[in-house]
Structure 1
Amino acid sequence: MVRAKSTRPAPVKKKAAAKPVRRATQRKAKKKPQRQMPSWLRYVIAGLIAFLFLAAFFYFFIRPYSYRWKPCYGFKAYGVCMPSGFQVHGIDVSHYQGNIDWKMLTQTRQGKFPIHFVFMKASEGGDYGDKAFITNFDSAKTHGFIRGAYHFYNPKTDPIRQADFFINSVKLDSGDLPPVLDIEKRGKDENQLRRDLKLWLDKIEQHYKVKPILYTSYKFKTRYLNDSVFNSYPYWIAHYYVDSVEYRGEWKFWQHTDVGTLPGIREKVDLNIFNGSLEELQLMTIKK
């Protein structure tokens, strides 16, 4: 049976009454007036910062080399002011100086500060030989210079290996200066460094039958080699741009500058003096 459709209208849904919108009244925060730094104070602070920067720059970068620009009241030679009171002068070279014209270098003997001795770099660490050593070493003897050889020490390499490498690289003859240990790096352990250096020195002395020379700066000597066991070695002290060596112990050589200009050498050269007479220098040489 079919049912008749209902004719009653569908109920109308009542809309929910809109909630009244509450507008929150925000109080505007009162801004406090900011105080501005006076312009004169800004200039004072900026000037103070600039002064501190310049002072630090001078102390660390200019002051150590200010001796270069000091008036030379003594004699000037090879582009620098020469230390007074010393008669025996020398140089030290390596491959950094390039090809040396040894014949031209002999011209220095005609001047007021003749070059009498030359130290040459022979080796470094346990396996690096200076590529110019053999040529320089032979040429120095041929042209009548008192010659010497040095080893640049590497604290990270076994000292016996370094000593053996130097021995295999350098044959010293009668009239040559004792072998030199160049120590400039301390490594991580100071006590280990001193023990290792003594091993190198003992091995070299045993082989060449002469006490080696110790090359270092006066600061390195006083900080890391201030031990009586090292005081018996002849010292070669590096101390630049000063009127005299500040190291108060005994020393034989003084490397007083690294910017010497000599005939026959294109690059700058380290200049040295011997603390004694030429006869005393010759007495230091190896006798066979």
Structure 2
Amino acid sequence: MAKRKASKNLRRVLWATVIAAALFLGYLFFLWLQVKEPTFIRYKEFGISIPTQYEIHGIDVSRYQSTIAWQEVKKMRVKNVQLGFAFIKATEGTGLVDPYFKRNWKKAKEAGVVRGAYHFFYPKKDGKSQAQNFFENVKLESGDLPPVLDIERGWNMPVDKLQNEVQAWLDAMEQAYGVKPIIYTYVTFYEKYLKGKFDDYPLWIAHYYQPDNPRISRPWHFWQHSEEGHVNGIIAKVDFNVFSGDSAAFRALLVP
């Protein structure tokens, strides 16, 4: 009887110790939460959570955003977040031009927003002809971002054929503007079609709902982290992006 009672008391002591340890660890975790700097903060004004560890933020737009009041875009500032750049859709395929491009291109510069132009790429069409479409419609100036190749569809093309057409566009752009173009795509597409061939080009990667950074093994320059943002001066939702480096690295990327 005495042994059973001693064993019962021991179990009570052990349980009490476990509970006390759990409460202590919970308290430590609570204190850690109070001092840990959050990496994603939701801003009511922008309507989305924004990664706070990056200092340079921007958007990308096309005809889907309709007419944009660029001065309002530039003036919007919420705490330490202000939009410093915008990628603007220019061309598509061998002959299409975004109907809002000329206006967006002109008004963004007037508002003091660093601008970049992108081309939506058709892998089954000649890369040089698509480059000519871009070149005929986009006049990059000093201080603009490099030209961007937006490639999101493979259309079941052989990888080597797709890569050849992509390389043709990139080579033509570098020759025309004197800067290395940026590649825009999403993670799985890059891994399937582009990895190992274009790793020395600046990368603009789309990967949503990630807490800190896109899950890709190679370095990146721009990260499109949301497509649900709201900005003063734009009626429709808009894509949000961050730049990976500081202001000096950003300036070094621009067209000289």
Asked whether 1:114 is paired with 2:82, we answer yes
Q: Which amino acid aligns with 1:194?
A: Q
* CA RMSD, 1 decimal: 1.3
Alpha-carbon separation, structure 2, partners of 1:225 and 1:74: 29
| Counterpart check, 1:166 vs 2:134 | yes
Counterpart of 1:276 in structure 2: which amino acid? G
State the match for 1:267 in structure 2: 236
2:164 counterpart of 1:195: yes
Residue 76 of structure 1 corresponds to which residue in structure 2? 42
Looking at secondary structure, tell me which structure has more strand per residue. Answer: 2
- The total of aligned residue pairs comes to 215
Q: Give 2:205's aligned amino acid.
A: I
After superposition, the C-alpha distances for 1:212-246 in whole angstroms (9 at most, x for unaligned) are: 0000001111111112x301100000001111210
Q: What are structure 1's unaligned runs of at least 5 residues? A: 1-71
Name the counterpart of 1:219: 188
The whole-number CA distance in structure 1 between the counterparts of 2:141 and 2:78 is 27
* Residue 244 (structure 2) pairs with residue 278 (structure 1): no
- Distance in 2 (CA, whole Å) between partners of 1:73 and 1:154 is 36
Q: Which residue of 2 aligns with 1:151?
A: 119
Question: CA separation of 1:286/1:73 partners in 2, compared to 1, >3 Å: closer, same or farther?
Answer: closer
- In structure 2, the gaps of 5 or more residues are 1-37
Name the CA distance, whole Å, in 2 between partners of 1:253 and 1:104: 23
Identity score, percent: 42
- Supply the AA of the counterpart residue of 1:260: G
Change (3 A) 1:105 1:155: same
* Bigger mean CA offset, 133-142 vs 187-196: 187-196
Equivalence map 1:47-66=2 (5 Å): none
Amino acid at match of 1:164: Q
**SS of alignment partner, residue 75 of structure 1:** strand
**SS of residue paired to 2:81:** coil
1:205 aligned to 2:178?
A: no
Q: Which protein is bigger by CA-based radius of gyration?
A: 1
SS in 1 for 2:51: coil
Paired position in structure 2 for 1:14:
none
Residues 168 and 232 of structure 1, relative CA distance in 2, 3 Å threshold: same
In structure 2, C-alpha distance between the alignment counterparts of 1:272 and 1:97, rounded to whole Å: 16
Whole-angstrom CA distance in 1 between matches of 2:74 and 2:113: 9
Give the deviation of 1:110 after TM superposition.
6.0
Q: Structure 1 counterpart of 2:50, which letter?
A: M
What secondary structure, in the 3-state scheme, does the structure 2 residue paired with 1:263 have?
coil
- Give the structure-2-normalised TM-score: 0.81
Partner of 1:238: 206
The answer to whether structure 1 residue 133 and structure 2 residue 81 are counterparts is no
